[in-house]
Structure 1
Amino acid sequence: MKFGYSEVCLAHDTGKRHPENPDRLRAIRRALTRKHGVEYVEASPATEAEVTAVHDAGYVEEFREFCESGGGNWDPDTVAVEESWDAALESAGLAKWAAKAALAGEDSRSTPFALGRPPGHHAVEDDAMGFCFFNNAAVAAQAVIDDGDAERVVIIDWDVHHGNGTQDIFYGDGDVFYVSIHEDGLYPGTGEIEESGESDGVGTTLNAPLPAGAGDPEYRAVFDDLITPAILDFDPDLVLVSAGFDAHRHDPISRMRVSTEGYGMLTARVRAMADEAGAALGFVLEGGYGLDTLSDGVAMVHEVFDGMDPVVPDEEVNEEVRDLIVDVRDSHPVFETD
């Protein structure tokens, strides 16, 4: 794979005790040194115009001034320093690079993966939250639409937390389909089945809130029975994966049971779905807070594009998740004609 990376993102210093810290990127780089075919690419930072295409200009200016004054705690979880402004623009720029590179034909062993931080999927139009300041995947999706590179974009968010920011930004937009598979009841408490879009975006939000303890078989079933058919129906030009690795069974801040091999299985399914749709494919880093599980997860995504064929789980799907799949198919607009 081609990995977008910049040392600028390391300067966003949240402190040694904060789970979202520069060691996350360092751990990923160490893991990838042991893998074949890894290439790193630098990207230009996002412009303010690209950021304000999805964020309120007043909020963007407030964040800039906050950083210029030395930063601090934006909220109890979300920390900035003076360098966080540049890091946030760089992280959004890396996501835009991944989208642009994918649409330019980078695929197979050159599939792009943006390794930026701070992450982005909790950042709403006019506020930062959940470690996120600019919504990287949203900036990327809107940029390629505004530039005429794509007409329809899908964002698949497999981070364990619901990407409330991405959902909110595109909730009334029919050009971007947001899909989230996440742990039910976890921060930020959004992402219910009933949240399926409004106005021009009716039917272009799909949430699968899984119960704590769901693992590889449950994720496989949701991808096969809900996500893949919904995305194929949408017929996107680009699929961006908001790739968090905190649903791993050993991540310190979730209760899910996805294995490292399970992330390989999800990667293979996303790749097959994008191929069937004739869509470009790129990845954007979100969460993941155990350094070993995070770095192993990113390395597993790379290994799938380097030729690995991951094991597909054949265990029975838990009954609660089977019922969830039925409920979504019975209520979501995209399945009304099934």
Structure 2
Amino acid sequence: MQFGYSEACLEHDTGDRHPENPDRLRAIKRGLQKRHGVEYVDADPASTAAVAAVHDEDYVADVESFCERGGGNWDPDTVASDETWDAALASAGLAQWAAEDALRGADGRRTPFSLGRPPGHHAVEDDAMGFCFFNNAAVAAQSVLDDGPADSVAIFDWDVHHGNGTQDIFYDRGDVFYASFHEDGLYPGTGELDEIGVGDGKGATLNVPLPAGAGDADYLLANDEVLAPALARFDPDLLVVSAGFDAHRHDPISRMRVSTEGYALLTERMQEIRDDVDCPLAFVLEGGYGLDTLSDGVATVHETFDGRSPIDPDEDPDEDVVELVAEAREMHDLD
């Protein structure tokens, strides 16, 4: 794979004890050291205009001023330093590169994966939250829509937390399909089954709020029975995966049971959707706070694109998840 990476993203200083810290990127790079076929690309940072295409201009200016004053706690969870402005623009720019490079034809072993931080999927139009300042996936999607390579974009978010920011930004629009598999009831408390969009965007938001303890078989069932047919119907010009790795069974801040092999299986499913829908595919890093599980997760995505075939899970989906998936199919008229 090609990995978008910028040293500027290491300069976003959240403090010694914050779970979203530069060691996340360092761990990913260490985990990829012995894998062959790894290529790093440092893209241009996003412009303020590109960020303001999905965020309120006054909010963007407030973030810049906050960082120029030295940063601090924007809210109890979301921390900035004076270098955060440059890091946030670099992170958004890497996501833009991933989307644009996929649309230029980068696929297979050259599929792009943006390794930026701060992450983005909680950032709403006019506020930072959940470690996120600018919504990287949203900036990338809007950029390719504005510049013409794509008329429609799908974003699939497998982070354990619901991407409330991405959902909110596109909730009333029909040109961006947002789908999320996340832990029910976890921060930020959004992403209910009946949140399906409004106006032109009605039906273009899909949420599967999985119960705590959901594992590989549950995620695959939701993919096969809900996500895949919904994306086939939407028929996007580009599929972006908001790839968080905090649903891993050993991540310190979730209660889900996805294994490293489960992420390989999800990656294989993304390849199948790409082939079935005939659209480019790009990945954008979101969360993941156990350094070993994060680095293993990113590495297994790479290995899957490098030709490794993942092993199917032994367990069956939980009955509660079977019922949830049936409800989701009915909600989105997939039966």
TM-score, L = length of structure 1: 0.98
Corresponding residue for 1:260? 260
Amino acid at match of 2:14: T
Amino acid at match of 2:73: N
Inter-partner Cα distance in structure 2 for 1:173 and 1:331: 18
SS of the residue corresponding to residue 309 of structure 2 reads coil
Tell me the CA shift for residue 138 of structure 1.
0.1
Tell me the CA shift for residue 124 of structure 1.
0.1
Inter-partner Cα distance in structure 2 for 1:248 and 1:317: 17
Inter-partner Cα distance in structure 1 for 2:331 and 2:149: 33
Tell me the CA shift for residue 260 of structure 1.
0.3
Inter-partner Cα distance in structure 2 for 1:311 and 1:100: 32
Corresponding residue for 1:48? 48
Corresponding residue for 1:57? 57
SS of the residue corresponding to residue 133 of structure 1 reads coil
SS of the residue corresponding to residue 179 of structure 2 reads strand
Inter-partner Cα distance in structure 1 for 2:234 and 2:65: 40
Inter-partner Cα distance in structure 1 for 2:220 and 2:85: 38
Tell me the CA shift for residue 331 of structure 1.
1.9
Inter-partner Cα distance in structure 1 for 2:329 and 2:9: 40
SS of the residue corresponding to residue 240 of structure 1 reads strand
Inter-partner Cα distance in structure 1 for 2:34 and 2:285: 20
Corresponding residue for 2:99? 99
Instruction: Output aligned runs, 1:1-338, within 5 Å.
Output: 1-332=1-332, 334-335=333-334, 338=335
In structure 1, the gaps of 5 or more residues are none
TM-score, L = length of structure 2: 0.99
Inter-partner Cα distance in structure 1 for 2:176 and 2:238: 10
Inter-partner Cα distance in structure 1 for 2:331 and 2:8: 44
Inter-partner Cα distance in structure 2 for 1:83 and 1:127: 19
Deviations 1:104-157 (A, max 9, x none): 000000000000000000000000000000000000000000000101100000
Tell me the CA shift for residue 314 of structure 1.
4.0
Amino acid at match of 1:206: L
Inter-partner Cα distance in structure 1 for 2:325 and 2:299: 30
Inter-partner Cα distance in structure 2 for 1:317 and 1:191: 21
Amino acid at match of 2:202: V
SS of the residue corresponding to residue 65 of structure 1 reads helix
Inter-partner Cα distance in structure 1 for 2:292 and 2:232: 34
Inter-partner Cα distance in structure 1 for 2:249 and 2:274: 27
Tell me the CA shift for residue 315 of structure 1.
1.8
Inter-partner Cα distance in structure 2 for 1:10 and 1:296: 20
Inter-partner Cα distance in structure 2 for 1:101 and 1:279: 13
Identity of aligned residues (%): 69
SS of the residue corresponding to residue 255 of structure 1 reads coil
Deviations 1:229-249 (A, max 9, x none): 000100011000000000000
Inter-partner Cα distance in structure 2 for 1:315 and 1:234: 31
SS of the residue corresponding to residue 242 of structure 1 reads strand
SS of the residue corresponding to residue 62 of structure 2 reads helix
Q: 305-314 vs 25-34, which deviates more?
A: 305-314
Inter-partner Cα distance in structure 2 for 1:329 and 1:69: 49
Inter-partner Cα distance in structure 1 for 2:236 and 2:331: 22
Q: CA-atom RMSD, angstroms?
A: 0.6
Amino acid at match of 1:271: Q
SS of the residue corresponding to residue 129 of structure 1 reads coil
Moved >2 Å (runs of 4+): none
Amino acid at match of 1:203: G
Inter-partner Cα distance in structure 1 for 2:59 and 2:13: 21
Inter-partner Cα distance in structure 1 for 2:329 and 2:26: 41
SS of the residue corresponding to residue 113 of structure 1 reads strand
Tell me the CA shift for residue 18 of structure 1.
0.1
